[in-house]
Structure 1
């Protein structure tokens, strides 16, 4: 019997990615620019995939994006 591991700690560290030193992807750049704008900061255009991933995680924590908001989830349950 196999179970799917949803533990974030099981994900591969961007520093260990085989393609981590390649330039960031278009979607990474677009999302990173959105997050940077919300955070009131700027990011370099020449990040690698791994660097962009790490910066995205950092800015998600700073802006609250990409994480479920407990208050919003709580309101949805009460409305049901």
Structure 2
């Protein structure tokens, strides 16, 4: 459905549940006010913080390399 690129019909057959059940689950859990929203937002926040840290570290390393590669007088 989301990650499997399979249709609701295919998934319902594989899982042995009705298409309506899958639709209801999708509607319940993947909406903005669903129970996973807070967990997803926490993960996004954590990953954004990690990205900022890694980006800053990379910039520091680039500057360090530039300093060490300068020709000596």
Normalising by structure 1, report the TM-score. 0.28
> If you compute each CA radius of gyration, which structure gives the higher value, 1 or 2?
2
Normalising by structure 2, report the TM-score. 0.29
Q: Which has the higher helix share?
A: 2
Larger relative contact order, structure 1 or 2 (CA cutoff 8 Å, min sep 6)? 1
